[in-house]
Amino acid sequence: MGRGTQMVDKLSQEKVWSNRNQVKVAQPGSGVSTLRSSAQRKTMVDKFETKFSGGSGNTDVSSEQNRGPRTSKLTNQLAVKSYTSVAGESDTLGSVIIDRNLYNKVDFSLDYVNAKFFVIKSYSEDDVHKSIKYNVWSSTPNGNRKLYIAYDDARRIAGEEPKGCPIFLFFSVNASGQFCGVAEMTGAVDFQKDMDFWQQDKWSGSFPVKWHIIKDVPNPNFRHIILENNENKPVTNSRDTQEVRYKKGMEMLKIFKQYTSKTSLLDDFMYYENRQKLQKQEKSRLTVRSYENSFILPHMEPPRKLILWVVVAGAAAAVNSPVPVAETLTAKPLDVVTVGLMPVKVNGFSNSVGFMTVGTIPLDAGALNLNEGGLSANSASRKG
């Protein structure tokens, strides 16, 4: 997104739900019946879903969630399933190792002669979880361009300064009332590299990040920091990729490091892993359904004849279809002349003069003569 020896909850072995989240049913021989009434089963499921959704009862994994329940603690290392091949480094089992000891380090430096700072606003804490997991982030098109320029400028400055010019990103989820961590932008924006795991499929491009601090820091701790480059608003009122100038950025970095927090997104890592697994399953189900439906052809009705009425010199003709060749034949009492493969119904225009046009074909109406038995033609014209 340094390794310990303790490993918990191997998601690569599909042990997604922790033991405390599993529904326990009495086993045969225990003296308690394993059969449950419909009402009892529904109650158990409702309690299960409520616990899964952090008490809100909302199990829609595609929804935007600004904060998890913060109910379980991540100790040392955690092996989680990758679920993607486009980001992050996984082991031979397809797992990503999350190590709590890599974050919130006591020796994290606050000594930077040059540094750039930006506020990152996320719609969903699910996406921040994935950023920590895969060491990557995607902003809006405007945000990506802004950060691309900043990274290019930071590299230029770094070439002139021994300590370089890092770019720190202060993460906050909309409506959460807090900041949740600090990451460093470690590579340029790749506008062609899209991720396939964000909560919404509308973010394009991506860039690598390294997470340094992961902790919940309530907004009141930053509200006194006023940004002159944002209409003198508190930094807590910032939009996505709002730049924080050097002095104010260093002050925020210091607050992040020194603040003692009892909770962090790391406490909900398994909670968001469960949501990511269900989201992946839902996308796969929808993909299969879309693939199956692509072979179902809609019911087709037989083509209907197109009737086009053409009025020329007082005569009317009904045309069934346009054909670029004209020829004539003897007709029944209903006067008919065939133009190519197209029968043209004509109601007496032998005395008319000039040409009529069938589609793009000029037809000499004067060449058509009526007989007692119907319509005959001594000749027909084909022009063009």
* Rounded-to-integer distance, Cα 310 and Cα 320, Å: 11
Average pLDDT for residues 222-231, to the nearest whole number? 98
CATH number of the domain that residue 119 is part of:
3.10.590.10
Judge whether 251 lies within some domain: yes
- Is pLDDT at 219 greater than 50 in this prediction? yes
Same structural domain for residues 112 and 185?
Answer: yes
Average pLDDT for residues 238-251, to the nearest whole number? 98
Average pLDDT for residues 24-44, to the nearest whole number? 38
- Is pLDDT at 287 greater than 70 in this prediction? no
Judge whether 222 lies within some domain: yes
The pLDDT tens digits of the residues spanning 148-188 come to 999 999 999 998 777 799 999 999 999 999 999 999 999 99
Same structural domain for residues 258 and 323?
Answer: no
Average pLDDT for residues 214-243, to the nearest whole number? 98
Same structural domain for residues 140 and 202?
Answer: yes
Both tokens of residue 185? 């932008």
Average pLDDT for residues 283-293, to the nearest whole number? 68
pLDDT, greater one: 19 or 352: 352
pLDDT of residue 144: 98
Same structural domain for residues 114 and 248?
Answer: yes
Question: Are the CB atoms for 16 and 61 separated by under 8 Å?
Answer: no
* Rounded-to-integer distance, Cα 230 and Cα 242, Å: 8
Judge whether 162 lies within some domain: yes
- Is pLDDT at 261 greater than 90 in this prediction? yes
pLDDT, greater one: 110 or 94: 110
Structural domain containing residue 325: 308-377
Judge whether 79 lies within some domain: no
How many CB atoms sit inside 10 A of residue 342's CB? 19
- Is pLDDT at 202 greater than 80 in this prediction? yes
pLDDT of residue 76: 78
Same structural domain for residues 344 and 208?
Answer: no
Average pLDDT for residues 350-360, to the nearest whole number? 53
Judge whether 301 lies within some domain: no
pLDDT of residue 77: 84
pLDDT of residue 100: 92
Judge whether 70 lies within some domain: no
Same structural domain for residues 243 and 340?
Answer: no
pLDDT of residue 9: 35
pLDDT of residue 291: 56
Reduced 3-state DSSP string for the chain: CCCCCCEECCHHHCCCCCHHHCCCCCCCCCCCCCCCCHHHHHHHHHHHHHHHCCCCCCCCCCCCCCCCCCCCCCCCEEEEECCCCCCCCCCCCCEEEEEHHHCCCCCCCCCCCCCEEEEEEECCHHHHHHHHHHCEECCCHHHHHHHHHHHHHHHHHHCCCCCCCCEEEEEEECCCCEEEEEEEECCCCECCCCCCCCCCCCCCCEEEEEEEEEEEEEHHHCCCCEEHHHCCEEHHHCCCCEEECHHHHHHHHHHHHHCCCCCCHHHHHHHHHHHHHHHHHHHHHHHHHHHHHCCCCCCCCCCCCCCEEEEECCEEEEECCCCCCCCCCCCCCCCEEEECCEEEEECCCCCCCCEEEECCEEEEHHHEEEECCEEEECCCCCCC
Judge whether 273 lies within some domain: no
Looking at 268, 299, 327, the residue that finishes a domain is 268
Number of domains making up the chain? 2
Same structural domain for residues 210 and 108?
Answer: yes
pTM above 0.85, yes or no: no
Same structural domain for residues 256 and 152?
Answer: yes
pLDDT, greater one: 249 or 324: 249
Same structural domain for residues 204 and 117?
Answer: yes
pLDDT of residue 259: 98
Judge whether 89 lies within some domain: no
- Is pLDDT at 101 greater than 80 in this prediction? yes
- Assign residue 324 a region: left if phi > 0, alpha if psi is -120 to 50, beta otherwise? alpha
Average pLDDT for residues 347-361, to the nearest whole number? 53
Same structural domain for residues 315 and 260?
Answer: no
Both tokens of residue 282? 């839902």
- Is pLDDT at 305 greater than 50 in this prediction? no
Most confidently modeled of 37-41, 61-65, 194-198?
194-198
For 46-50, 94-98, 122-126, 129-133, which range has the lowest pLDDT when averaged over its residues?
A: 46-50
Same structural domain for residues 132 and 217?
Answer: yes
* Rounded-to-integer distance, Cα 225 and Cα 121, Å: 17
Same structural domain for residues 128 and 214?
Answer: yes
Looking at 206, 240, 268, the residue that finishes a domain is 268
Q: Is 23 exposed, middle or buried (0-12, 13-18, 19+ CB in 10 A)?
A: exposed
Taking all residues of the chain, what is their mean pLDDT, rounded to a whole number? 73
